[in-house]
Amino acid sequence: MQLTQFTDYSLRVLIYLARLPESGQATISEIADYHKISRNHLVKVVNKLATEGFILTIRGKGGGLKLGRPAHTIGVGEVVRVTETNMDLVECFNMKSNQCCIAKACVLKAQLYEARRAFMMVLDKYTLADAAVMRKTFSQDLERDAPAALAE
């Protein structure tokens, strides 16, 4: 299973914000520059995350983004479910567009459902706070290369 780029970017934005000091905030441009991704893509991601209550957007001078809830209350699985538009692993998962002639007799479908369920169960065990913890060497590199707000 491969997550979409939209979900990947969503998780990156949330992890970035989770690593800020409690009163900290960041701009879309800052996050885009840090991750070397398009600001335009991030605008769409941020709009979705704000609509879903994962982040707050502060407008005006001194504005920016911050988490809408504490990181330990945001489930990784919850974010994936909200940002993934299609979790169908195979054609037969979609009853409307299924054209597979063996779908009714095939046992693989049940096995793939089980695999998807297991995948999401693992993600459901973790929160954004868990995902924001970096391995020591990676964290040191991150702090060296990141804006000052992340290094605190």
Mean pLDDT, all residues of the chain: 84
Q: Does residue 35 belong to any structural domain of this protein?
A: yes
pLDDT, tens digit, 9 for 90 and up, residues 19-44: 998 878 999 999 999 999 999 999 99
- Joined tokens for residue 53: 């209550």
Q: Does residue 53 belong to any structural domain of this protein?
A: yes
Amino acid 110: pLDDT? 77
Amino acid 88: pLDDT? 67
Distances in Å between the alpha carbon of 97 and those of 61, 89, 148? 48, 13, 50
Instruction: Judge whether residue 10 has pLDDT over 90.
Output: yes
Q: Does residue 28 belong to any structural domain of this protein?
A: yes
| Percent of residues, the chain, with pLDDT higher than 70 | 77
CA–CA separation, 127 and 143 (whole Å): 22
The CATH code of the domain that includes 17 is 1.10.10.10
pLDDT bucket at 12, cuts 50 / 70 / 90? very high
Which domain range does residue 79 map to?
A: 5-86+127-151
pLDDT, tens digit, 9 for 90 and up, residues 76-96: 999 999 998 877 665 566 667
Closest to 149 measured CA to CA, from 8, 26, 14, 42: 26
Query: What is the value of pTM for the model shown?
Result: 0.81
Which amino acid is it at 129?
A
**CB distance 85 to 4 below 8 Å:** yes
Closest to 65 measured CA to CA, from 12, 122, 123: 12
Q: Does residue 147 belong to any structural domain of this protein?
A: yes
Q: Does residue 58 belong to any structural domain of this protein?
A: yes
pLDDT, tens digit, 9 for 90 and up, residues 106-127: 677 778 888 888 989 999 999 9
Q: For the residues of 16-60, what is the DSSP string, one character each?
A: HHHTS-TT--B-HHHHHHHHT--HHHHHHHHHHHHHTTSEEEE-S
CA–CA separation, 45 and 48 (whole Å): 5
End-to-end CA distance of the chain: give it in Å, rounded.
Answer: 36
Q: Does residue 66 belong to any structural domain of this protein?
A: yes
Q: Does residue 45 belong to any structural domain of this protein?
A: yes
Which amino acid is it at 107?
V
Q: Does residue 78 belong to any structural domain of this protein?
A: yes
- Number of folded domains that form the chain: 1
